[in-house]
Amino acid sequence: MDAVHEVFRYIHITGGFIGLGLFWVPLLSKKGSPLHRKLGKIWIWLARVVLGTAFLGILMYMPGLIEQGRTPFSHPNDYAFLFFLGYLSVVTFIVTLYAVDVLRHKKDISQLATPNMKSLAYLCIVTSVFIVWYALAYEPNTKIVLLALSPVGFTTGWGMLSYMAGKQPSQRAWLYEHLGSVIGAGIAFHTAFAVFGMTRIFDIGLTGWVAVIPWVLPAAIGIPGSVLWRRHYQKKFKEIPA
């Protein structure tokens, strides 16, 4: 079991580093170009592998804690971090599925609004509710981080449901949904690197409130960036005044 866990760990780390660099190529390349399409597909599948190995690794790690008598209720500090990573992995994995299906069914939203996709949207919301409940009920040391990033699941799920219900006035809503989803997945990648990769590579030991910065900085930059990106295309297509 330990050997399998190590394999997942190395696949996750290797894929994560490759994904960090690869993410920017389709994002900055001409939309719809062969380069954008090809590398975008590769990044999506790479992201799913990284997220899948992260989630499986968490599931394999928790039984060891339980065997030691350390349960989620008696040792919340041991589990809060794991629950958060699991939450982020699930929501981001769903986002990668949604980002692709939005393009596939851009001409007919009803084909996107399947029971499976709606269930995934509700799952995003449910995981957010769980994270908020666990943070408030057991108050782990990472309570602030959990509460600060808990809206990710809410906004993702609600946005998916709103789009599938046809509550988008723009004919190019599919484009905005696709861009927003991919940028959201990219934020998750960069958050993981900021928290785990950068602090260890450069041996940065952050304490106190400063330790929260790597958790929220990618979202603090990425979310406004996504809004500006959307406004850029809205102005380009004359949907809003230039």
What is the model's pLDDT at position 212?
73
242 within domain boundaries:
no
What is the pLDDT tens value at each position of the chain, 242 positions in all?
678 878 888 898 888 889 888 999 998 898 889 999 999 999 999 999 999 999 998 898 898 899 999 999 999 999 998 998 899 999 999 999 999 999 999 888 889 999 999 999 999 999 999 999 999 999 998 888 889 888 999 999 999 999 999 877 678 889 999 999 999 999 888 888 877 766 555 555 556 666 777 777 888 888 888 889 888 888 888 788 76
Dig out the tokens for 107 from the structure: 């001409």
What is the model's pLDDT at position 26?
92
66 within domain boundaries:
yes
DSSP string, 99-163: HHHHHHTTT-HHHH--HHHHHHHHHHHHHHHHHHHHHHHH--TTHHHHHHHTHHHHHHHHHHHHH
In terms of Cβ atoms closer than 10 Å to its own Cβ (0-12, 13-18, 19+), residue 48 is middle
48 within domain boundaries:
yes
What is the model's pLDDT at position 232?
86
139 within domain boundaries:
yes
Q: Residues near 20 by Cβ (< 8 Å), separated by ≥ 6?
A: 189, 190, 193
What is the model's pLDDT at position 197?
65
What is the model's pLDDT at position 205?
59
Tell me the C-alpha distance between 94 and 206, whole Å.
Answer: 31
What is the model's pLDDT at position 92?
94
Cα four-point dihedral sign 115, 120, 121, 122: positive
67 within domain boundaries:
yes
What is the model's pLDDT at position 207?
61
What is the model's pLDDT at position 158?
95
Q: Which domain holds residue 172?
A: 2-236
Tell me the C-alpha distance between 99 and 26, whole Å.
Answer: 14
Q: For the chain, how many structural domains are there in total?
A: 1
181 within domain boundaries:
yes
What is the model's pLDDT at position 109?
87
241 within domain boundaries:
no
162 within domain boundaries:
yes
